[in-house]
Structure 1
Amino acid sequence: MTITITAFEWSPDGGKGLARDTRVRWALEEVGQPYEVRPVSFAAMKESAHLALHPFGQIPTYEEGDLALFETGGIVLHIGERYGGLLPDDANARARAITWMFAAVNTVEPPILELVIAKLIEGDKPWRAERLPLVEDRIRGRLNQLSARLGDADWLDGAFSAGDLMMVSVLLRLRPSGILDEYPDIAAYVARGEARPAYKRAFDAQSALYNGKPPTG
């Protein structure tokens, strides 16, 4: 069965790997599964055909035969469970890897997204100057905790897993802020993720689609 995912027809990040389809691409590259990409315009994301796949009108979606999924965490978990390479065989290690997936999107990502919103969407609001330091402090609080847990290990729990894939993907959003550079151990952890051949293939594929330019016509 052919796997098809959706991606932005043009992403505001200009193909820098921050759009969430990169996480799904990376997972599929790690497990060696070919896939096709269906670009979706912002207008089409709100139409009934796409809403039938993603009720919140976002990307990515994942189609495989009669299975349709949305939300990157759920998609990556499905890929890890169906194909080998992203989740450990040991039941306890597998459970811990899944826990780290949830930690990435439920604990670490929310304050990072707050920072993105504060800078890009609420940038002209009068409270921006007061809000930014508060959001940045919340991010540093999470990074302090993550740094303490990571220590000098290469990955979060033994070998690379879907938990690391999701965590690195989330942390990459911090790079433009400079906060990531304050934590050399976490920055090195992210760099290890980016150095994986599967990530490079996913990044290059996403970058080639967008080419840094909005569509014309």
Structure 2
Amino acid sequence: MATPTITAFDWVPDFAKGQVRDFRVRWALEEVGQPYEVRYLSQGEQKGPEHRARQPFGQVPTYEEDRLTLFESGAIVHHIASQWPGLFPDDAAGRALAIEWMFAALNTVEPPIGELAYVDIFEADKPWSKPRRPAVEERIASRLKDVAKRLGDQQWFNGDFSAGDLMMIAVLRIIETDPLLTAHPNLVAYVKRGTDRPAFRRAIDAQMAGFTGSPPPGFAEWEAKLKAGAGAN
């Protein structure tokens, strides 16, 4: 089997460093001990026809292995967990439970957390942004309460660390220092267990080392506009 190749950005704003979703793929590959290569894209290059042939929405990451090309971090992590031992239990029921938590992370927990990025960053200059935050916080708080209750005092969701835990921790660490998460000590401890894993550290170090590019034209003006709008709100 050929060494997999993933795509990643060579530059992102500071708030996105460590969070771009190629990190999730890197972490999965590190957990299973699979070397990989990275094709770096400058900002804007992801919207070009060459990359859209790999990823129709012009996003990262993508994953290429022999004749197989995948997009969507969840699908890629599922493929990695299916290809190499380490992220799925050996039994069918255990695999199903791990997949269940992958879907829960991506479909139930991440969407309201993702809304915070629009409230606090991407639409911070809009008059409707700040008034939206209480409702967004309420939705996140409800999801986190349910996740914390189900986790209880377990180390991981179903026995050993799995792809389900990897995806859930990748989502929860988006708000790692937010009071919404720190209100749940068991979730804070859960995230720390995940981020203390050697594979996590290797993955995060690799992503950070790849940010060697430059911001696109107009970024400074865009950033200043958002900061001014956030201050006005």
Q: For the superposition of Structure 1 and Structure 2, which TM-score range results when normalised by the shorter chain?
A: over 0.9
Q: Which residue of 1 aligns with 2:111?
A: 110
Q: Secondary structure at the match of 1:2?
A: coil
Distance 1:15 1:119, change over 3 A: closer
Runs of 4+ in 1 over 3 A off after TM superposition: 13-16, 213-217
Distance 1:87 1:177, change over 3 A: same
Q: Secondary structure at the match of 1:19?
A: coil
Q: Please give the TM-score of this superposition, normalised by the length of structure 2.
A: 0.89
Instruction: Give unmatched runs, 5+ long, in structure 2.
Output: 218-233
Q: Percent of aligned positions with the same letter in both sequences? A: 56
Deviations 1:110-158 (A, max 9, x none): 0000111111111112122320010011000000000000000000111
Q: How far, CA to CA, are the matches of 1:13 and 1:78 in structure 2?
A: 30
Q: Which residue of 1 aligns with 2:208?
A: 207
Q: Which residue of 1 aligns with 2:222?
A: none
- 1:175 positional shift: 2.3
The code of the aligned residue for 1:9 comes to D
2:28·2:80 contact (CA, 8 Å) conserved in 1?
yes
| Greater C-alpha Rg | 2
2:25·2:76 contact (CA, 8 Å) conserved in 1?
yes
Distance 1:96 1:190, change over 3 A: same
Q: Secondary structure at the match of 1:54?
A: coil
2:70·2:76 contact (CA, 8 Å) conserved in 1?
yes
Pairwise mapping of residues 47-86 of structure 1 onto structure 2 (< 5 A)? 47-86=48-87
Q: Secondary structure at the match of 1:210?
A: coil
Q: Which residue of 2 aligns with 1:162?
A: 163
The code of the aligned residue for 1:207 comes to M
- 1:86 positional shift: 0.4
- 1:38 positional shift: 0.9
Q: How far, CA to CA, are the matches of 2:193 and 2:12 in structure 1?
A: 25
Q: How far, CA to CA, are the matches of 2:135 and 2:38 in structure 1?
A: 39
Q: Which residue of 2 aligns with 1:187?
A: 188
CA-atom RMSD in angstroms: 1.6
- 1:23 positional shift: 0.2
2:12·2:215 contact (CA, 8 Å) conserved in 1?
no
Q: Does 1:17 align with 2:18?
A: yes
Q: How far, CA to CA, are the matches of 1:15 and 1:114 in structure 2?
A: 15
- 1:215 positional shift: 5.5
1:10·1:214 contact (CA, 8 Å) conserved in 2?
yes
Q: Please give the TM-score of this superposition, normalised by the length of structure 1.
A: 0.95
The code of the aligned residue for 2:46 comes to M
The code of the aligned residue for 2:24 comes to R
The code of the aligned residue for 1:178 comes to P
Q: Which residue of 1 aligns with 2:220?
A: none
Q: How far, CA to CA, are the matches of 2:17 and 2:176 in structure 1?
A: 11
Q: Secondary structure at the match of 1:141?
A: helix
Deviates more, 1:29-38 or 1:178-187: 178-187
Q: Does 1:3 align with 2:4?
A: yes
1:13·1:19 contact (CA, 8 Å) conserved in 2?
no
Q: Which residue of 2 aligns with 1:94?
A: 95
The code of the aligned residue for 1:59 comes to V
